[in-house]
Amino acid sequence: MNDSLTKNSVGIVKPEKLHFNNSLELKSGRVLPAFDLIFETYGELNASKSNAILVCHALSGDHHAAGFHSSEDKKAGWWDACIGPGKAIDTNVFFVVCPNNLGGCAGSTGPAVINPETGNFFGPDFPVVTVSDWVNSQAMLADKLRISKWAAVIGGSLGGMQVLRWAISYPERLHSAICIAAAPKLSAQNIAFNEVARQSITNDPDFCDGRYLEKGTYPKRGLTLARMVGHITYLSDNAMRAKFGKTVSDFEKEGDNFGRDLRDGKLSFGFNVDFEVESYLHYQGERFSKNFDANTYLLMTKALDYFDPSSDFNGDLSKAFSVSNCKFLLVSFSTDWRFPPERSREIVNALLKTRKEVSYLEIEADQGHDAFLMPIPRYTSALKSYLYRLQDEIENNAP
């Protein structure tokens, strides 16, 4: 943590954990008899409890969305660019809650914690959880925090899917749904990438049928590979060219080298790492594999694959939204090819069809899917203005 990073930061934050004794019936039919949710909060809940915002995390995210865990902490929370005093989600105005989802590996009940019934890690025995299950557990958390209606539920990517599910499952419990860089359901291409990731994990000999923690190991190679594949889908071609195209090599003396920076300045004529992009992916994948649980990765990708709120309505997404009672803001990014603008427009059109209040922004951005995490001025000012306006409306319409 350094001074420049702490400017407009929520500062040092401490996660909280709540235990839920009430059982949670999951979409799969299985039941979690009890569970824990770990979460962080930023800002102050006002007296009328009308300024609460729920932030939902994406595939590899967790409850640590903003600020730092200690003064030595070098890395801020995953959405620190947008959450803090004076930022897009202004903690001077709003009380922000961000939980780690069930099945996660950052402190909420999931495959990497001990199953009290067996005394052993849940591991592969942890039930498959869906976006609906997460939203149900988040509603239970809202009950405990005595928040009857969120000012906004916000999330990007898989987080955006939770936002949509909130608007459908709990229409009276949110004023607005802010869904960023998401899709109404995964395409075959999306599912294909997820399956490659799952196969690389489950085929790693160290996966041990998911019982690697009992054996004191983890599927490092498989998880690294899964993250490498995933990471590519988060970036745009242009973003990669820019990131790995900084030097002028012997081969392309003039201008753009298409992101083909060499690691050692020359080709090896072997099967080693030649290009910077390769070394970057290895590094990112390996780092991820040390900090993330492989079973959680499998669960998260399944939650993505299974998400389809239209499935209860013969594939008609607008019918799924017909019960919704909140305002919607959708945002997409021009170079996002994982969940491109067309996918957000599908949601917008379904909302229009069922006559909901909806706004939609298509932000020009070079960063691909990852753009939703970045402080892109047009994006953050729109988010900030929308939320300020919303808070004014809530305060003025309050009975």
Question: Which residues form the interface with another protein (CB under 8 A)?
Answer: 327, 345, 348-349, 352-353, 355, 357-362, 378, 381-382, 385-386, 389, 393
CB of 345 to another protein, least distance (A): 7
CB of 358 to another protein, least distance (A): 6
**Which residue is listed with tokens 């594949």?**
229
Based on CB atoms, which residue is closest to another protein, 78 or 379? 379
Is 336 an annotated catalytic residue? yes
- Please give the C-alpha separations between residue 144 and each of 93, 137, 167, 169, 300, in angstroms, as whole numbers: 22, 11, 20, 18, 25
Q: Which residue among the candidates 57, 63, 64, 369 is catalytic per the annotation?
A: 369
In terms of Cβ atoms closer than 10 Å to its own Cβ (0-12, 13-18, 19+), residue 349 is middle
CB of 78 to another protein, least distance (A): 25
Based on CB atoms, which residue is closest to another protein, 39 or 372? 372
Based on CB atoms, which residue is closest to another protein, 312 or 357? 357
Based on CB atoms, which residue is closest to another protein, 102 or 358? 358
For 280, phi and psi rounded to 5 degrees?
A: -60, -45
Based on CB atoms, which residue is closest to another protein, 66 or 348? 348
Based on CB atoms, which residue is closest to another protein, 98 or 348? 348
Is 282 an annotated catalytic residue? no
Q: Which residue among the candidates 90, 204, 293, 336 is catalytic per the annotation?
A: 336
- Tell me the one-letter amino acid at 134: W
CB of 386 to another protein, least distance (A): 5
CB of 357 to another protein, least distance (A): 5
Residue 320 corresponds to which tokens in the numbers above? 């799924």
CB of 88 to another protein, least distance (A): 12
Nearest C-alpha neighbor of 395 from the set 41, 44, 46, 43: 46
User: Catalytic residue positions?
Assistant: 157, 336, 369
